[in-house]
Structure 1
Amino acid sequence: MTPFIQSKLAKLQAQYHDIKLYAVVDGLQYERHLGDEISYQDGVSPLFRQPEDAKIAFAGPWVFELSKLSKDVIDELITLEKSKPSLSWVFSQLDMFSLTNNLVDLLNVQLPGERFALFRFYDPRVLIQLKEILTKEQLAHFMDNIYDWTFYHDDHYHSVV
């Protein structure tokens, strides 16, 4: 991982117990950049996991638990991060199952008129705008059980909060 992310992880681990680092990855951008779909494996889980989403799960958001990944996979994620708006870093004490459940609950937002839309929070181009589009209460809900959510946008790292 990058020195910036390593430093942030070290600071949080010194302050809190059991902090884990996760990457939230846009599956479609991953496939476009690396030429292969993300597949389910230990330490990698899709957020589109309902049976009706099976055909599009590869293109949706995925969560990677960095402690369970090889150096090669981590290096691929870093190259992806620098080349496409596709990845963010989540620092949390939650286990993989709990974190993915929390994130799945954030995927759909209700619009006026009883309509729903996909909330592309896994896209850095959306993350950069969260402070302006969410209320303080909504942002607190979004960051529930997450100590930091960092992403690379316009050649700089940013934090959701």
Structure 2
Amino acid sequence: MYFSEVRPQEEITQQLRTLTTGKLRLYALIDAAHTATKLQMIRQHVSFDAALGLFAGMPEQDAQSAGPFLLQLNPFETTHEARISWLIKAQILAPCVTWIWSEAIPSVLHRHLQQQLIAKLPDGNEALLRFYDPRVLQQLLTTLFNTEQTKALLGPIVRWHWYLPETGQQAYSTDTTAVS
């Protein structure tokens, strides 16, 4: 699906509301490793108090402030309206937000995503897998990963959206009945 460049914010907001129904929870996965200015803008308008840092308790914990954060959102609550609006603005300015729909509660999804951070390389070494960066996520899901690797990364995730200015809105879904 491609969102027009004329009003991507309105179209993304509508898509978020359309897909957040029933048991599905909406999450924003925020890549905080962007320039200080963009991160400062996000933090001014989006409280990270309820966010779960993916680097917490990991060897990368010292870099937590620049790491990925998982934040549960409800697009129907007025208190979240401003958060969602600012996250959409941020994702349009820079690839730093992806949207996840899952039935999993925050702690379960957080644990799953943490388990995906470290990739085992063929030579036995380990590397940080930056799937929380939409540019990397797109390559993993569309080109690099086989079916088994994709299933492992997605786990309890039903749908994962991201926006890149050069390609527009992209989505990967394990739910064949989901809105495309």
TM-score normalised by the chain length of structure 1: 0.84
CA contact (8 A) 1:21 1:89 kept: yes
Question: Residues 72 and 12 of structure 1: is their aligned pair in 2 closer, same or farther, counting only changes over 3 Å?
Answer: closer
Mark the runs of 5 or more structure 2 residues left unpaired by the alignment: 1-8, 174-180
Q: Per-residue displacement from partner, 1:11-60 (whole Å, max 9, x unpaired)?
A: 462xxx31111011111227430426857512x11000016544310101
Aligned residue number for residue 106 of structure 2: 96
Describe the SS at the equivalent of 1:114: coil
How many equivalent pairs are there?
157
CA contact (8 A) 1:151 1:157 kept: yes
Mark the runs of 5 or more structure 1 residues left unpaired by the alignment: none
Question: Residues 5 and 30 of structure 1: is their aligned pair in 2 closer, same or farther, counting only changes over 3 Å?
Answer: farther
Aligned residue number for residue 110 of structure 1: 120
CA contact (8 A) 1:40 1:46 kept: no
* Seq. identity, %: 26
**Range that drifts further, 47-56 or 18-27:** 47-56
Describe the SS at the equivalent of 1:99: helix
**Range that drifts further, 2-11 or 92-101:** 2-11
Taking the aligned partners of 2:13 and 2:70, their CA distance within structure 1 comes to: 16
Stretches of 4+ aligned residues off by more than 6 angstroms: none
Amino acid at match of 1:77: L
Describe the SS at the equivalent of 1:160: strand
TM-score normalised by the chain length of structure 2: 0.76
Aligned residue number for residue 132 of structure 1: 143
Taking the aligned partners of 2:41 and 2:20, their CA distance within structure 1 comes to: 33
Aligned residue number for residue 35 of structure 1: 40
Residues 1:142 and 2:153 are matched in the alignment: yes
CA contact (8 A) 2:119 2:128 kept: yes
